[in-house]
Chain A
Amino acid sequence: MLFERFLKSIGRVVLRELRNLGSMFIFLFNALVHIFIPPFKFKQLLRQIWFLGNKSILVILLTGSFTGMVLALQIFYTLSKFGSEALLGPAVALSLIRELGPVLSALMVTGRAGSALTAEIGIMRITEQIDALLSMALSPIRYLVVPNIVASLIVFPLLGAIFDLIGIFGGYVVGVKLLGLSSGTYFSKMDEFIDMEDITIGFVKSLTFGLIVAWVCCYKGYNTGYGAKGVSKATTEAVVLSSILILVWDYFIGSVWV
């Protein structure tokens, strides 16, 4: 009897989560289809590029430079044990381009802009602005979701690249100015160790992270619960789920594309 009740409750949870997952994928499919159906909302797209991209640059510059600096410190310490300090530049650059740049920039944008995105769409839901769009026979997906998805696909790779650049420069400051490595040593081996595939991996990661963040944050905002509590819950869920998916997807890409 107790076991049966236990199984039932597990079944209920599994069914509920499967339903949520299904509804998330239908939402994504709808949004992706709408990307290619005119009319295109260029004004909204530009606004979202500005909101997601331009307003995130300061955060990316700060986190990118300190990530590069701390990376240089740690890698220098490890390399010095093997007498290979000369490889500091390529090691910092490789770590940033393949891994840390796309992941950390995506996590930072999720915290700064993803949460705001969920809250904005969530508030539009609870103040009936989404219902107003529907009542005018207009698609909220086209107005609210598509511009965010397209903007994220453009902005995330660019922010990832900025993160990489500033991180490499941060590593340069620590390696060359503080730890006494020569500037030529830091940069010289980079083009030898980094090839186009490393840059492509970083680019694909940023691109897919952009899709994940825009998808999850828009979905959570669009399906927010009632009142301020509902919006705050949706915002938290959006940030947590986006962050987890970024790390899981990062591992997945990393493991199939070595």
Chain B
Amino acid sequence: MIEIIDLRKSFDGIEVLRGVNLVINDRELMVIIGKSGVGKSVLLKHLIGLYRPDSGKILIDGSDIVQTCGKKEVCRLRERFGVLFQGGALFDSLTVFENVAFPLQEKTKLPKRVIQERVSEALEDVGLSGIENKYPAELSGGMRKRVALARALITEPSIVLFDEPTTGLDPISMHAIHRLIVRTHKKYRFTGIVISHDIPQVFEIADRVAMLHDGIIVEVGLPEEIQNSENPIVKQFITGSLEGPIKVMD
């Protein structure tokens, strides 16, 4: 279980997270929605220790990642995570095979043959067999995201973070990625946290939805509860209305 308790973070005096409280249960798929620039990705990066909060706690199965300062302990915690970054974050100089195999080659002593099998299986899972020798620059945006997902899942992590997995994709690719997230979640039974603003598609994939606004979680609930929420902030965000408490830049 992941517990985020009163998490605060400022950048250059601007408070981005102003006391985030959120509990994510084991094996659930939690989608965090919110306007661009409200700190969703910042929140996600706190979970793997890429940012240190100004104050607050992040408990992963009871151990506080914020207080974990030893390099080995941080590494042990990070090994439990798989991350799908916004742009995929594939290594440009490596082929698709090398990218997906990278965590296994670097973190395990598995024989070459086993790594080859695992990579083939992971690529098959994301529907991309036969592109092992291509470089990331030769792939479309959707394919890059799929390869990145295969890389995130190759070590069979217990927690997978998806940072806006469908940003920049066409509606068909977006739908395919959502379906892929649900399918892999069912297969690997990981705890998933998805950052997204794909309304209403996220309601189809989420076990629960949380909305981050103005540095705090304003509402958490089942997809249908969020869809029927009376909270004016949530309502405005879901309907995409220009009128309401969320300030829209002209």
Chains A and B come from one and the same complex = yes
Interface residues of chain A, those whose CB is within 8 Å of chain B, are 123-124, 127-129, 131-132, 134-138
Q: A191 CB to closest chain B CB, in angstroms?
A: 46
Stretch from B87-95, B124-132, B238-246 at the A interface:
B87-95
| Chain B residues positioned under 8 Å from A136 (CB to CB) | 78, 102-103, 106-107
Please pick, from A127, A137, A138, the residue contacting B89 in the complex, using a CB distance under 8 A: A127
Q: Are B83 and A137 in contact, with the CB atoms below 8 A?
A: no
**Contact A135-B106, Cβ < 8 Å, known A128-B87, A129-B91:** no
Check A135–B50 contact: CB distance below 8 A: yes
* A135 B87 Cβ-Cβ under 8 A: no
In the complex, what distance in Å separates the CA atom of A183 from the CA atom of B81?
69
Q: Which residues of B contact A132 (CB under 8 A)?
A: 83, 85, 89-91
B75 is contacted by which of A129, A131, A137 (Cβ under 8 Å)? A137
Give which listed residue, B74, B85, B102, contacts A131 with CB less than 8 A. Answer: B85
**Size of interface on B: residues with Cβ below 8 Å to A:** 21
Assess the A137–B78 pair: CB atoms within 8 A: yes
* Cβ-closest 6 pairs across A and B: A137-B75, A132-B89, A137-B78, A128-B89, A135-B83, A128-B85
Q: List 18 A-B contacts (CB under 8 A).
A: A124-B91, A124-B92, A128-B86, A129-B89, A131-B83, A132-B85, A132-B90, A134-B78, A135-B48, A135-B50, A135-B78, A135-B81, A136-B78, A136-B103, A136-B106, A137-B75, A137-B78, A137-B79
Contact with A along B118-139 (1 / 0, CB 8 A): 0000000000000000000000
B45 at interface (Cβ–Cβ under 8 A)?
A: yes
16 other A-B residue contacts (CB within 8 Å) besides A128-B86, A134-B50, A135-B50? A128-B85, A128-B89, A129-B89, A129-B92, A131-B45, A132-B83, A132-B89, A132-B90, A134-B48, A135-B78, A136-B78, A136-B107, A137-B75, A137-B78, A137-B79, A138-B107
Query: How long is the Cα–Cα vector from A136 to B79 in the complex, in angstroms?
Result: 6
Which residues does chain A contribute within 8 Å of B81, judged by CB atoms?
135
